[in-house]
Structures are given as C-alpha cells and as structure tokens.
Structure 1
Amino acid sequence: MAVRPPRPHRFDVWAALAGLSGGLLLWGLGLGVRRAGDPIVLFDGRWPLLVPLAVMAGCELLRRAAPRAALLTGTLALAADTMTQGSIATVVMYTDLVYAAVLYGTPGSARRIPWIAGLLSIAGTLVPYAVWRVPEALLIGFAIGVVAFAPASTGLIVRNHREAAQSARLRAEQTALLAEMDRTQAVIAERARMARELHDMVANHLSAIAIHSTAALSLDDERTSRDALAVIRENSVQGLSEMRRLIGILRDGSDDREPAATPTLDSLGALVEGARANGLDVVLDATYDSVPAPVELAAYRIVQESLTNALKHAAPGRVTVLLRRLDGGLDIRVASPYGGRDTPRAPGSGAGLVGMRERAALLDGTFEAAPENGPDGRLWVVRASLPVTDIAQGEVE
C-alpha cells in the first residue's frame, strides 16, 4: 500500500512563501550577511546563496508535518549558506525550524534539541576564545545561542504550556465524565428505590383488593360480599395514605402538608392486623430494642412483602413472623405454608423477592428465601439478617 507524503499545513505554506519572498527581496537589493571576498566565503558571488535559501524554504513546508527531517535538512542548508555570502532570510527560517522541531516533534526530540543547542552555544563560546584569545571570538557562541538555543528554549516553553493546558482540559473532561456517571448512577439508584417503595406499598393493598373483590364477585352471599367490600375499602384507604406519603417525599416539601411518617417496627402490629383482616392466620413474635431508621424501614418492608406473598401464594395454614435483635444485627424470619396451590390468588410482578434482596444488600445484610421442611409440613421461609450499626439516617428508604 502506497504511503502518502505528509501534507504541509496551510500556515507552513505561507511561512515558506514569506521566507522565500523575503530572501529574494534581499538578494535583489544585494544585501547579504557577508561581504564578497570574506575568507569564510567559499562560493563567491550572489547566485550561490539562492540554493540554501530555496532548500530552507522547502524545509519550512515540512516544519509541522516532518519537523525532524526538516531540521536536519535545514541544518545542512544553513551550513551551506555559511559558505556563501549568506542571507538573513535563510537564518531566520532556520530559527523557525528549530522552534518547530521542539514544539511539534516527538517528546524525545523536544528534550534533546535544547540540550544540544545549549552545549553548542557553550562550545562555540569557549573553543574559539581558547584558540584565538580575542574577545570577538565570543560572538560565535552568542550567534549560535541566538540561532539555535533561543528558539529551542522558546519552543520548549510553549510546548510545556500546551501540554499543561491539554492535561488540564483532559482532567476537566474526566471530572465532567465522572460527574455525569455519578449523576446517572444516582438517578438509577433513586429510580430503583422509588420502584421498591411503590411495589412494597401498593402490592400488599392491591393484592388484598384483588383477592377480596374476586370473592365478592364469586360468592352469592350478602354478608360475605359486605365483609369483602369492607376489606377492599380499608386497603384502598391505606394504599392512598401510603401513596400520599410517597408523593410528599417526591415533592420534597413543596407542599404545605407534611407527608405521613415513615413506617417503623412499631407499626408491625398494625401490619399484622391488616394481614389478618385480609384472611391470613398470622402470628407475630418480635423482640427488639432501638435500631436505626434505615434498618427499621427495611425490616418493615421485608415483613410486609413476605405477608403479601403469603396472601397471594401460601397454602391454608398459619404464617409466623419472627424478629429477634441479636448482637450486631436484626434477624427476620417469615414462614408460611408452601404447596397445594396451582395458581396465585392474585397476579404478581415477580419483583418482591428482588426488592427484599436489594434492601438487605444496601445495608450489607443477607437475604434468602426457599422452601423448607417443617414439623407441620412444607414451608416457604424468608430469612434476612440486617446489621445494626451506626448507619447514617436516610441511607436507605
């Protein structure tokens, strides 16, 4: 595959044309660096200096595309120019090549060129003075410093500033990217939290409404229908109350009315009574002392979802709810009769177990739900262990 040669930058084209035009103008006026007959001039006359001038202008075209090759070729052209009457335009274009080689070249070239130029300046100062022992010899090192070391140092300073600005820009972009990732993760976490709250609040009441409305429609008994409608109304009112609380949280205090209080473990008795009203035979055995609010809410929601699942899926029998405050944690166990029911009494989304597992994981706790064999038959047992430590308020809700 053919490799295309580097294409000159537009600015480099204009720089080459300007240098060549300036050199031709000086040549036309007869202005050179050295006089005819100078001992250093090996190629006398006006025409020989046009060759280094043209070569140097060609190197200017590659100052950005191939800075190293341009500098090496330009150095040879400058050496040839010193053997002619010379042109100030050739010298000026060479200083630009040194500057461009440091600025646009490789990092290694950017480090080496200033050092080489500096050493040449020192050598050009000391060696001629040591040989000739005249003050004018010091001007050779000064000229080398002006032509090579000064543009190389300038290019290095500009390159360092550009790299520092680019590093700052990259750090700003990375910071913005990390901030956007944090914002996205926060939004996802908040959506998951609200999804858990909605599911835990609504699923229990809607399941009871679905079950009792089915009973009211299927049984032709006035008393049974009235009892079912009473349960439906109670669950509707409680569901609306929970929804108002959630809406109050979403409003973040924009409404003058205060949202309902967050459920705590002290509300488990009312939760169990509601489950009994919905038709479950529930026994609550809870022993605990003060626990952090996040643990209270997580434990309440786990028991609530377990009772909801028992209402929808459990076989007839007793449901036991056990809470124990042990050293370093709060243990929860909800057991309900398992098996004997082909279809659930109310449809479900399948998100209940996922939500309970997430609540336990957010508190670095454990959760498991699986069938077990008990003395009274097959049971579906939900177990959760929530660490009780100094958890920040509001970490989980």
Structure 2
Amino acid sequence: MAVRLPRPHRFDVYIAIGGLLGGLLLAGIGLATRPAKDPITLFDGPWPILVPLVVMAGCELLRRTAPRAALLIGTPAICADVVTQGSLATILMFTDIVYAAVLYGPLASARRIQWITGLLTVAGTLVPFAVWRVPQALLIGVVVGVVAYGPAATGWIVRNHRDAAEAARLRAEQTALLAELDRSQAVTAERSRVARELHDMVANHLSAIAIHSTAALSLDDPKTSKEALSVIRENSVEGLAEMRRLIGILRDRGNDHAPAATPTLDGLAALVDGARSNGLDITLDTEHGTVPAPVELAAYRIVQESLTNALKHACPGKVTVALAQRDGVLRVRVASPYGHRDGPRAPGSGAGLVGMRERAALLGGTFEAGPDGALWTVHATLPLTEGDSA
C-alpha cells in the first residue's frame, strides 16, 4: 500500500523555488563562498555545488509537513556543500530548515536540536583553537553558531511566543465559554424562579375558579350558582391583581420605585381567610420570631401552594397550618384530609410539589409530602442561617 506524502505548504514551495533559482544564479555568475584553491575544497567548479543545492531545495518542501525528515536529509547536504566551493543559497536554506525543525517539529525534537547545535557551536569554537592555536580558529565556532545554533534559538523563541499566544487564546475561549455557561445558568435559574412565583401566585385563584365554576354548572340551584359566581369573580380579580404585580416586577427590575411583591408571614392570616372563603376549614397556628426574607418568602409560598392543593384535592374536613421556629430552623406543616372526594376536582400537573421542593432545596432545607394515615401532610424545614446567605 503506497504511502501518500503530505502536500507541501504553498509558502514552502515559494521558498524552495526562490532558493533554487538564487543558487543557480550565483553558480551561473561564478559566485561561491570559498575559492577553488581552498584546502577543504575537494570538488572544484560550479557543477558540484548544484547537488547539495537541489537536495536542500527539496528539503524546503518538507520544512512544515515533515521538519525532522527535512533536517535529517539537509544535514548531509550541508556537509557535502562544505567540500565544494559552497553556495550561499544552500547555507541560507539550511538555516531555514533548522529554524523550521525547531518551530514546527515535536517539542522533544526541538529541545534536542537546541542542545545539539549548542554543543556543536562550543565544540567548533574550542577544538579548532586547541588544535591550531590561532585566533582565526575561533571563527569556525562563530560560523557554526550563525548557521546552526542561531536559527535553532530563534525558532525556539518564536515557538514559545506562539505557544503562549495559543494558550492565551484557549484561556480566552474557555473564559468566554464559562461566562456564557454562567449566563445560561442564570437565565435558567431566573426563569425557574419566575415560573415558581407565577404558579404559586395564580394557581390558588385559578383552582378556586375551576372548582366553583364546575359546581355552578353541575348544580341547578340559583343561590348556589350565585355564590359560586361571586367566588369566581373575587378570585378572578385577585388573580388579575397578582398577575399585574408580577408583570410590574419584571418590567421595573432594577427600578427603585418598583412595586414590592414579596409576601411576608404577616400575610398568612389574609391568605388563610381567602382560602376559607373558598370553602376550606382551616386552623392557623404560628410561632416564630424574625425570619430572613428568603425563608419568609419560601414558607409563605409553601403554605399557599399547600392550601391550593387542599382546595383541589382534599376531602371535607379540617386543614391545619402550623409554623414553628426552633433551634435555628423554621418548620412548616400543612395537613389536610386525604381520601376519596365526591365533589368537583381541579386538574393538577405536579408542578406545585416540584416548586415547593425546589424552594426548600435552595435554602438548604428539606421537604416531604405524602399521605400520613387519613391526612395528606406537607412538611418543610427551612434553616434560618441558610436563609440569610441566600
């Protein structure tokens, strides 16, 4: 199975063509790096220069797609160029290959190339000087440093800057992603809060309307129908007022003069009176001191939703509402008769129980609801310290 080589980058093709044409031009005009009579020149004339030149131009095609292979092939080519009169184009292309091998190659290879070229520079400086004992011998190390170590060091610096820029870009993307995630979570939490408020504020009135309208339609009694219509009108007006108050809060969010729609435990008596007017027999027992506002709101809404469920589903009988504050916890308990109901029922979706459980969980409390013998009991514990932090 044939291995398909990666296609060279367009910029690398331009470099290879430019280096090859430049080397041919220099060879054509007879411009070389060393004279023909130089002691290390083994092959005189312009034609031996072309072999390492062509090989080096081919390596330039691999400088980005296969940088290690380009360096492994280019190193023998530059050594071969040394025993000819030499071409400046071949030397320049080799420096570019060393630079590309550090910049585009694997990190481990880039480190090794740094060390190898550094050691070659030191050896090229010390060994000739130790052998010949002339200052001019130090120039060999300078040439090795310019041709090998200089490009490697430059490639390492550029690579570090590139990696730092890439890391900064990734951090910026992660920060933007986290910000978007936080925004989405905030929007979701706000929508859930508004949904709970809307359900708890309106469900009680709509349930009363549904039950009394069903009774008015099923009973052929003008007096009963008139009483049912009165209750329906009262709950319609109150429900509409609650809706307008919630809409006002949403529209005037952040306005210092926005209407205050947060109910308090002082309003439980009015809430119970409204439930009594809808036909429930309720006993209210409260024993609490100063309660943080989040806990106060949660307790009020839990009682309100429990009374709504009692209106929709409870059997005839007494409903008890009890609030007690002990040991840093506000306990809320609502019990209503449980069993078969002969009268009309309002449909339920289960969202009320979910909302009550969410309210308790947000404050770090607990919530339980279910049958307890002949009673359906709702029990919630709301820590007061969690209420302060919330």
Shorter chain as denominator, the TM-score bin is over 0.9
Equivalences for 1:96-135 in 2 at 5 Å? 96-135=96-135
CA gap of 1:108–1:321, structure 2 versus 1, over 3 A, is same
Shift of 1:259: 1.9
CA contact (8 A) 2:363 2:386 kept: no
Shift of 1:350: 1.7
Q: 1:386 aligns to what?
A: 382
The alignment partner of 1:389 has SS state of helix
Equivalences for 1:162-177 in 2 at 5 Å? 162-177=162-177
Q: 2:6 aligns to what?
A: 6
The alignment partner of 1:49 has SS state of helix
Moved more, 256-265 or 348-357: 256-265
Shift of 1:225: 2.3
Q: 1:63 aligns to what?
A: 63
Moved more, 213-222 or 117-126: 213-222
Equivalences for 1:359-370 in 2 at 5 Å? 359-370=359-370
The alignment partner of 2:83 has SS state of coil
CA contact (8 A) 2:265 2:296 kept: yes
The alignment partner of 1:285 has SS state of strand
Letter matched to residue 28 of structure 1? G
Equivalences for 1:100-249 in 2 at 5 Å? 100-249=100-249
Q: 2:90 aligns to what?
A: 90
Equivalences for 1:327-346 in 2 at 5 Å? 327-341=327-341, 345-346=345-346
> What are the superposed Cα offsets for residues 285-331 of structure 1, whole Å, 9 maximum, x if unpaired?
11000011110110010001101001111111111111100112100
Letter matched to residue 117 of structure 1? T
Shift of 1:33: 1.0
> What are the superposed Cα offsets for residues 176-228 of structure 1, whole Å, 9 maximum, x if unpaired?
11111111111111111111111111110000011112222222333322222
**Percent identical across equivalent pairs?**
74
Q: 2:53 aligns to what?
A: 53
Shift of 1:103: 0.5
CA distance in 1, matches of 2:11, 2:58: 13
CA distance in 2, matches of 1:134, 1:108: 37
CA contact (8 A) 2:44 2:84 kept: yes
CA distance in 1, matches of 2:260, 2:73: 83
Supply the RMSD in Å over aligned alpha carbons: 1.6
Shift of 1:240: 1.7
Letter matched to residue 295 of structure 1? V
Letter matched to residue 320 of structure 1? T
Moved more, 250-259 or 4-13: 250-259
The TM-score normalised by the length of structure 1 is 0.95
The alignment partner of 1:119 has SS state of helix
CA contact (8 A) 2:62 2:70 kept: yes
Equivalenced residue count is 390
Unaligned runs of 5+ in 1: none
CA gap of 1:80–1:190, structure 2 versus 1, over 3 A, is same
Q: 1:75 aligns to what?
A: 75
CA gap of 1:391–1:336, structure 2 versus 1, over 3 A, is closer
Shift of 1:37: 2.2
Letter matched to residue 144 of structure 1? V
Q: Which contiguous aligned blocks of 4+ residues in structure 1 show a shift greater than 6 angstroms?
A: 254-257
> What are the superposed Cα offsets for residues 336-395 of structure 1, whole Å, 9 maximum, x if unpaired?
11111278611122211111001101111100111112xxxx1111110000016458x4
CA contact (8 A) 1:244 1:260 kept: no
CA contact (8 A) 2:249 2:261 kept: no
CA contact (8 A) 2:315 2:337 kept: yes
Letter matched to residue 251 of structure 1? R
CA distance in 2, matches of 1:343, 1:155: 86
Q: 2:274 aligns to what?
A: 274
The TM-score normalised by the length of structure 2 is 0.97
CA distance in 2, matches of 1:361, 1:390: 10
CA contact (8 A) 2:280 2:319 kept: yes
Shift of 1:115: 1.8
CA distance in 1, matches of 2:92, 2:260: 81
Shift of 1:231: 1.5
